Amino acid sequence: MQHPRSGSSLYERDFVAWLQAQATVIRERRWADVDVEHLLEEIEDLGSSQRCELASRIRVLLMHLLKVDLQPERDASPSWWGSIVEQADAIRDLLDASPSLLPTIPKIVYDSYPLARRRASLEMSIAQDEMPQNMPPRVARNFQVALDGNDEFELNPERTAHDL
């Protein structure tokens, strides 16, 4: 096996090969050959990437829930509901794989709502000052439905569950 310093250059040249080499030295319990500095960095980055993915999916979910709430005449859009269900499924999968992310959801939602509001405003061609500053109650309820996974979304009054 390579000397740990040359493992660092492998890290810079070929990340996948570096990962495989690190797995081998750890499996063989050759602790002196472990590239500890880069390995720790990658482990920390894994948690950060999970949080970033969760935040991204929450933003998209909130944006589509806002669009459904604010444009009831377009509420029947299957693509919006498809995106809502897709994001909700992905969020639940992330939380199943990493339950420690669950307590971060309130802060992520708080931080994500203004971004989702801005994106929804752009996509709907509605001025930002006409968008609700605070999350509308139906959006909040439907967000919780999405997290719960029961797909019993609160629809616009002129819609029925059959329309989904």
Q: Name residues whose C-beta falls within 8 Å of residue 60's C-beta, 6 or more positions apart in sequence.
A: 83, 87, 116
How far is Cα 156 from Cα 138, in angstroms, rounded to an integer?
9
Q: Both tokens of residue 137?
A: 């109650």
Residues 72 and 140 in one domain: yes
* Model confidence, pTM: 0.75
Judge contact between 67 and 40, C-beta under 8 A: no
Domain annotation covers residue 55? no
Residue found by looking up tokens 């929450």 in the block: 58
Quote the pLDDT of residue 3.
45
Q: pLDDT (tens digit, 9 = 90+) per residue, 105-114?
A: 999 999 999 9
The stretches in the chain having pLDDT less than 70 are 1-8, 73-77, 156-164
Quote the pLDDT of residue 102.
93
Quote the pLDDT of residue 63.
94
Domain annotation covers residue 57? no
Residues 40 and 84 in one domain: no
Quote the pLDDT of residue 122.
94
Quote the pLDDT of residue 160.
42
Quote the pLDDT of residue 12.
87
Quote the pLDDT of residue 46.
80
Quote the pLDDT of residue 68.
87
**Which ranges of the chain would DSSP assign to H, the alpha helix?**
4-13, 15-27, 36-70, 78-97, 105-124, 137-148
What is the number of structural domains in the chain? Answer: 2
Residues 149 and 79 in one domain: yes
In terms of residue numbers, what domain contains 148?
A: 62-164
Judge contact between 22 and 35, C-beta under 8 A: yes
